[in-house]
Amino acid sequence: MLPGSIQRATLFDPNTRVRKGIESQPSIRATNLSHFYGTGELRKQVLYGNNLTVYPGEIIIMTGPSGSGKTTLLTLVGALRRVQEGNLSVLGQPLEGASPSQLVDFRRNVGFIFQAHNLFEALTATQNVRMSLELTRPDQSIRQNTKDAREMLDRVGLGNRINHKPKQLSGGQKQRVAIARGLVHNPKLVLADEPTAALDEQSGRTVVELLQKLASENQSTIVIVTHDNRILDVADRIITLVDGAIRSDALVKEAAILTQMLAKCSIFERVTPRTLTRVADEMTIERLPPGTQIIRENDPGDRFFLVRSGSVSVRRGHPEHEIATLGVGDFFGETALLTGQPRNASVYTREETLLCSLSKTNFQSAMAESASLETEIREAYFERK
């Protein structure tokens, strides 16, 4: 068991978290987001048509090779760079075309923790942290700001370093000052680029637990770019960026939620919880835009599907007419797998939909277990008679 997982269990009930997330307005929504550096012949594309939706309270970990565009994406989300192509709405503010004063207001709600921590050498730890409050809470008294800054330093384990200047601090201590500065104003969105890179295991853990606590108390959204495998367990989702494009977007606690959803599907009624957990693990999940065709009438069936979020339209005939709509927790595609007949309808997404699916082989092995269970029950029944 990973350190911190006990806290996670109490703070991060994955079911309430994800359900809450899906119902609320996203805190980050990127649509077809691309980015280029340079102009003319030197113009180079570094982000390619990325789509991303993040909900309040989610902790996202972004990984990927060096140069894949993680920092670029993070700085776009934090409005430190202008959106060039695509749409990006963060904390309800469309960033493309936002006015300078809208951007100033916007950044007050964001906490930045960057690799190059840029502390002011002439200022003490307290003053460095307090500066963030002076920018984000201009109406609060210096006295209160000082108190809040000291409390925050205490929380990152620097209570005994509050009057030290950066050059009197170790690399790890400086990074913790930078973290305190990024979190002191309780931002709605925290963007952290390799925040634990310079920290030992214990300090790294303290920092990510602080981030977790903030996310759960304030419903803050946290995006952490990291290569640090020791902290992956804090994530609700792990996003992998490769060559400027999001390759995978996995919900970490998804298997537990899926197991509960599968347990409610009538066809899995007789499958044991252990098999359901295995089935959930074997399911793949994908995010589909509205209007995507998932299966086509008369095609052979090769997968079983479960709607994780969003909804789909089931249509039949020529011309096609809708015979049903299916929503969260509904499943489809089982008939062709059970009977070996071709698909008896076409299915399309009606909106952006998270769709889980299971290969035919995995589906059939789960069903085989269910059948043997049924046989067992029947036999037990007849034996008793």
Ligand X SMILES: Nc1ncnc2c1ncn2[C@@H]1O[C@H](COP(=O)(O)OP(=O)(O)O)[C@@H](O)[C@H]1O
Which positions touch ligand X (CB under 6 A)? 37-38, 46, 64, 66-72
Question: Least distance to ligand X from the beta carbon of 229, Å?
Answer: 17
Give the C-alpha separation, 135 to 99, whole Å.
18
Question: Least distance to ligand X from the beta carbon of 114, Å?
Answer: 11
Select the span of 66-74, 162-170, 195-203, 316-324 touching Mg ion (CB under 5 A).
66-74
Give the C-alpha separation, 347 to 336, whole Å.
13
Q: Which does 291 bind (CB under 5 to 8 A by kind): ligand X, Mg ion, none?
A: none
Would you say 68 or 275 has its CB closer to ligand X? 68
| Number of chain positions touching Mg ion (CB under 5 A) | 1
Phi, psi at residue 100, to the nearest 5°?
A: -55, -40
Binding mask of the shown chain, residues 292 to 311, with x at each position contacting Mg ion by CB under 5 A: --------------------
Measure Cα distances from 153 to 148, 156, 195, 231, 293 in Å: 9, 5, 16, 21, 53
Binding mask of the shown chain, residues 19 to 58, with x at each position contacting Mg ion by CB under 5 A: ----------------------------------------
Which residue's CB comes closest to Mg ion? 71
Would you say 66 or 99 has its CB closer to ligand X? 66
Q: Which does 72 bind (CB under 5 to 8 A by kind): Mg ion, ligand X, none?
A: ligand X
The single residue among 63, 71, 175, 349 that binds Mg ion, judged by CB under 5 A, is: 71
Would you say 63 or 357 has its CB closer to Mg ion? 63
Question: Least distance to Mg ion from the beta carbon of 241, Å?
Answer: 10
Would you say 42 or 116 has its CB closer to Mg ion? 116
Q: Which does 182 bind (CB under 5 to 8 A by kind): ligand X, Mg ion, none?
A: none
Query: Under the rule (CB under 5 A), what is the footprint of Mg ion?
Result: 71
